[in-house]
């Protein structure tokens, strides 16, 4: 019989979590170039796993980010599965126009919580980026397309180090006021720990941004990714980004791990009795496909270990 304390804690977990797959964009953006046809194949396979939100492309300058070239071709090539939201990241109004022309289901716009990171990334101040986010949000809403505002470097900056949580919360509130339908927080540098997650959620609560209204985008750069998810689950967060196979790496630490791994996250959540709606076997097949597409071993634990199968040879591990 379960100790009562455990049952109480487990009863605080949400019944269902929505996973936002970011491999085809955030993942492949940080990998060597993958042909459009392979990107289309991967997105179509992902959309057949039960994932309902897929970050498919970004409409950025191909000169600035070569692996994202051909975004319109990718959007035209995929087989749109009903019920799946295909999302695109855009850097500016021009990008939003291209995304709307490609009939994406949702637009994402990023503002960094760190002034230095924002300037190095988009050569604009944070204030200017928030104004631009408001403009492109108006454009998207006129086309009945929702917008997610992403606050990057929300748990730390590669240039400034710690980013005050009150600053992260203030920028999130400005993006919400600028019309963002939802706000997401990115652990761009992989600095997040459960302590940082608790503190940010506390400060967000103080400005009226509730855990069940946000998304969290964790990296596993220092091995804390799923610990951060678990912490946030206990606080009532129900939306998390993850990347198939762990595609992507860390843009600030060559060779290091980036996004948390979709199949590792699904394995953990489903075993906790939290519904994801995602088929783990199909997901593992997608991770194999992603690994082949980039031609390197990906940092996925479940891809290496396989799903739990007590008849399988792979389970006879020494203690
Ligand atoms: Mg990422």
The pLDDT tens digits of the residues spanning 282-292 come to 999 999 999 99
Question: Does 8 reside within a domain?
Answer: no
Distance from C-alpha of 133 to C-alpha of 150, rounded to nearest angstrom: 10
Locus of tokens 């990296």: 219
Question: Does 182 reside within a domain?
Answer: yes
Query: In this structure, how many other beta carbons lie within 10 angstroms of the beta carbon of residue 32?
Result: 11
For the chain, the domain total comes to: 1
Question: Does 51 reside within a domain?
Answer: yes
* 124-183 pLDDT tens trace: 999 999 999 999 999 999 999 999 999 999 999 999 999 999 999 999 999 999 999 999
> Strands 147-152 and 85-89, how do they pair?
unpaired
User: 88: domain CATH number?
Assistant: 3.20.20.70
Q: What pLDDT is stored for residue 253 in this prediction?
A: 79
Distances (CA, A) of 106 to 96, 100, 103: 10, 9, 9
User: How many Å lie between the centroid of ligand 1 and the Cα of residue 312?
Assistant: 33
φ, ψ (nearest 5 deg) of residue 94:
-60, -45
Residue 12 has pLDDT above 90, yes or no: no
User: How many Å lie between the centroid of ligand 1 and the Cα of residue 313?
Assistant: 34
Q: What pLDDT is stored for residue 27 in this prediction?
A: 96
User: How many Å lie between the centroid of ligand 1 and the Cα of residue 257?
Assistant: 10
> Strands 85-89 and 53-58, how do they pair?
parallel
Q: How confident is the model at residue 250 (pLDDT cuts 50, 70, 90)?
A: confident
Question: Does 82 reside within a domain?
Answer: yes
Listed residue (139, 137, 203) closest to 171, CA to CA: 203
Buried b (16+ CB within 10 A) or exposed e, 175-193: bbebbbbbbbbbbbbbbbb
Distance from C-alpha of 82 to C-alpha of 41, rounded to nearest angstrom: 17
Please say if 157 is a catalytic residue: no
What domain range is 109 assigned to? 15-307
> Strands 53-58 and 18-21, how do they pair?
parallel
Residue 252 has pLDDT above 90, yes or no: no
Question: Does 112 reside within a domain?
Answer: yes
Mean pLDDT value across residues 82-93: 97
User: How many Å lie between the centroid of ligand 1 and the Cα of residue 315?
Assistant: 31
Q: How confident is the model at residue 255 (pLDDT cuts 50, 70, 90)?
A: confident
Dihedral, CA atoms, 168, 154, 201, 277, nearest 10 degrees? 130
Q: What kind and span of H or E run contains 225?
A: helix 225-234
Whether 152 contacts 117, CB under 8 Å: yes
Question: Does 239 reside within a domain?
Answer: yes
Q: What pLDDT is stored for residue 7 in this prediction?
A: 63
User: How many Å lie between the centroid of ligand 1 and the Cα of residue 196?
Assistant: 17
Residue 108 has pLDDT above 60, yes or no: yes
Q: What pLDDT is stored for residue 318 in this prediction?
A: 59
- The helix/strand/coil state of 183 is strand
Q: What is the pTM of this model?
A: 0.94
Mean per-residue pLDDT of the chain: 94
The catalytic position among 157, 250, 286, 317 is 250
Question: Does 316 reside within a domain?
Answer: no
Q: What pLDDT is stored for residue 190 in this prediction?
A: 95
């Amino acid at each position: 019989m379960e100790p009562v304390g455990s049952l109480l804690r487990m009863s605080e977990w949400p019944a269902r979590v929505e996973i936002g797959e970011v491999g085809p964009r955030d993942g492949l953006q940080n990998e060597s170039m993958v042909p459009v046809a392979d990107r289309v194949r991967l997105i179509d396979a992902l959309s057949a796993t039960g994932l309902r939100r897929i970050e498919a492309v970004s409409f950025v300058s191909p000169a600035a980010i070569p692996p994202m070239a051909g975004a319109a071709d990718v959007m035209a090539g995929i087989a749109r599965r009903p019920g799946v939201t295909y999302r695109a990241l855009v850097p500016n109004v021009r990008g939003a126009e291209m995304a709307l022309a490609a009939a994406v289901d949702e637009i994402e716009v990023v503002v960094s919580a760190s002034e230095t990171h924002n300037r190095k990334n988009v050569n604009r101040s944070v204030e200017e980026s928030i104004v631009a986010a408001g403009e492109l949000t108006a454009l998207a809403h006129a086309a009945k397309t929702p917008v997610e505002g992403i606050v990057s470097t929300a748990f730390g900056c590669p240039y400034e180090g710690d980013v005050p949580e009150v600053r992260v919360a203030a920028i999130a509130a400005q993006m919400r006021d600028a019309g963002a339908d939802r706000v997401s927080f990115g652990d761009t540098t992989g600095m997040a720990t459960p302590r940082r997650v608790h503190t940010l959620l506390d400060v967000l609560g103080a400005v009226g941004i509730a855990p069940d209204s946000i998304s969290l985008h964790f990296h596993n750069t220092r091995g804390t990714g799923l610990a951060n998810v678990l912490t946030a689950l206990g606080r009532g967060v129900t939306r998390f980004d993850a990347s198939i196979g762990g595609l992507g790496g860390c843009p600030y630490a060559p060779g290091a791990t980036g996004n948390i791994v979709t199949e590792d996250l699904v394995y953990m959540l489903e075993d906790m009795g939290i519904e994801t709606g995602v088929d783990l076997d199909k997901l593992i097949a997608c991770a194999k496909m992603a690994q082949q597409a980039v031609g390197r071993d990906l940092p996925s634990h479940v891809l290496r270990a396989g799903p739990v199968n007590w008849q399988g040879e792979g389970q006879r591990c020494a203690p």
